[in-house]
Amino acid sequence: MTTIELDRPARRSAASLTFIVGLILVGLHVAIALLTLVWTPYDPSSTAGGRLEAPSLLHWAGTDRLGRDLFTQIMIGSRIALQVGIGAVGIGAAIGVTIGVLAAFATRLLDDALAAAFDILIAFPTLLLAMLVVAASDTASLWSAILALGIALSAIVGRLTRILAKRVLQMDFITAARTSGTSWPRIVVIHILPNIWPTLMVNFALQFGLAAIAEASLSYLGLGAPPPNASWGRLLQEAQGTVYTAPFGAIAPGLALLVLVIGINLFADGLRDVGDPTRRRSR
Partner 1 sequence: MSLLAVNNLAIATGGHDLVADLSFAIEPGQRLGLIGESGSGKSLTAMAISGLLPPAIVPRGSVTLDGVEVIGAPERKLNKLRGAASAVVFQEPLTALDPLMKLGRQLAEPLRRRFRREGRDLAGIEAETIALLERVSLPQPQRIANAYPYEVSGGQRQRVAIAMALACRPKLLIADEPTTALDVTTQAEILALLDSLVRDLGMALLFISHDLPVVSTIVDQVLVLRQGRMVETGPVKSVLGTPTQQYTQSLVAAARAFDTALGAR
Site for partner 1, rule CB under 8 A: 171-173, 175-183, 186, 190-191, 194-195, 276-278, 281
CB of residue 114 to partner 1, shortest distance in Å = 18
Q: Phi and psi dihedrals of 69, rounded to 5? A: -70, 120
> With respect to partner 1, which residue has the nearer C-beta, 51 or 186?
186
Nearest Cα neighbor of 88 from 29, 146, 9, 160 is: 146
> With respect to partner 1, which residue has the nearer C-beta, 36 or 195?
195
| Whether the Cβ atoms of residue 234 and residue 219 lie closer than 8 Å to each other | yes
> With respect to partner 1, which residue has the nearer C-beta, 51 or 279?
279
> With respect to partner 1, which residue has the nearer C-beta, 2 or 180?
180
CB of residue 201 to partner 1, shortest distance in Å = 13
CB of residue 38 to partner 1, shortest distance in Å = 40
CB of residue 173 to partner 1, shortest distance in Å = 5
| Cross-strand pairs, 63 | 69
> With respect to partner 1, which residue has the nearer C-beta, 228 or 277?
277
CA distances from 187 to 97, 128, 161, 165 (A): 15, 37, 15, 11
In degrees, to the nearest 5, what angle opens at C-alpha 85 toward C-alphas 275 and 196? 25
> With respect to partner 1, which residue has the nearer C-beta, 3 or 179?
179
CA distances from 65 to 44, 48, 238 (A): 13, 12, 8
CB of residue 200 to partner 1, shortest distance in Å = 13
| Whether the Cβ atoms of residue 148 and residue 124 lie closer than 8 Å to each other | no
CB of residue 5 to partner 1, shortest distance in Å = 17
CB of residue 162 to partner 1, shortest distance in Å = 18
CA distances from 26 to 67, 146, 229, 259, 263 (A): 29, 20, 21, 8, 5
- Within 10 angstroms of residue 216's Cβ, the number of other Cβ atoms is 28
Question: In the chain, what are the helix, strand and coil shares in percent, each to the nearest 5?
Answer: 75, 0, 25
For the chain, count helices (H), then strands (E).
11, 0
> With respect to partner 1, which residue has the nearer C-beta, 5 or 172?
172
Amino acid at 273: D
CB of residue 199 to partner 1, shortest distance in Å = 12
> With respect to partner 1, which residue has the nearer C-beta, 245 or 281?
281
Q: Phi and psi dihedrals of 230, rounded to 5? A: -85, 75
SS3 36: coil
